[in-house]
């Protein structure tokens, strides 16, 4: 029996920061978006899923810089009937860094966002019908420099 392989879309953004990857075994069911005053500062993202033993598998990217987080929004992906089908957003300059400035998550049920400041360079995933996002990857340090997604047949 052949094992299906994930496909990567993106990443969109720039080459700063360090490489990160989050490809959990189970479906991502929560994304926390954190940002500073009035959405003008870059955003940080926390991706989570519930493992078979009931514990959480989590990664936080970005947000380690000097900016103060003043707001958070949470995307809860509801049960087995909802799954991620796309991401879009913008990248731009913040404190002389090219970083993720806004992001929107799309599921088969609805759109969540945009979160952050809509800025200079837009991006949008073009995920084929019959596929879903099963993880994320990119580059980050103080800020999220780039973001992409792992996709697989649903």
Instruction: List pLDDT tens digits, range 70-127.
Output: 778 999 998 778 999 999 999 988 888 889 989 999 999 999 999 888 878 999 998 9
Tell me the pTM.
0.89
Compute the distance between CA of residue 15 and CA of residue 31 in angstroms, rounded to an integer.
Answer: 23
10: left (phi over 0), alpha (psi -120 to 50) or beta: left
| DSSP track, 94-131 | ETTEEEEEEEEEEESS-EEEEEE---SEEEE--PPTTE
Q: What does the pLDDT read at residue 3? A: 46
**pLDDT, mean of residues 42-69:** 85
* Residue that is written with structure tokens 């860094």 in the block: 97
Q: Over 70: is that where the pLDDT of 37 sits?
A: no
Q: What does the pLDDT read at residue 52? A: 83
**131-140 sheet: strands from edge to edge:** 7-13, 144-153, 131-140, 18-22
**More confident of the two residues 25 and 134:** 134
Question: Around Cβ 3, how many Cβ atoms within 10 Å?
Answer: 4
Q: What percent of the chain clears pLDDT 70, i.e. is strictly above it?
A: 92
């Amino acid at each position: 029996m052949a094992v299906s392989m994930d496909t990567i879309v993106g990443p969109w953004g720039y080459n700063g920061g360090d490489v990160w990857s989050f490809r959990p075994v189970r479906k991502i069911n929560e994304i926390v978006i954190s940002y500073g005053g009035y959405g003008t500062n870059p955003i940080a993202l926390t991706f989570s899923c519930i493992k078979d033993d009931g514990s959480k598998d989590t990664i936080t990217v970005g947000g380690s810089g000097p900016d103060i987080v003043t707001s958070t929004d949470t995307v809860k992906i509801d049960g087995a009937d909802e799954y991620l089908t796309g991401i879009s957003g913008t990248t731009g300059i913040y404190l002389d860094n090219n970083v993720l400035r806004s992001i929107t998550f799309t599921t088969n049920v609805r759109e969540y966002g945009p979160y952050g400041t809509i800025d200079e360079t837009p991006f949008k995933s073009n995920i084929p019908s019959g596929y879903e996002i099963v993880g994320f990857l990119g580059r980050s340090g103080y800020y999220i420099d780039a973001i992409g997604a792992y996709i697989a047949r649903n």
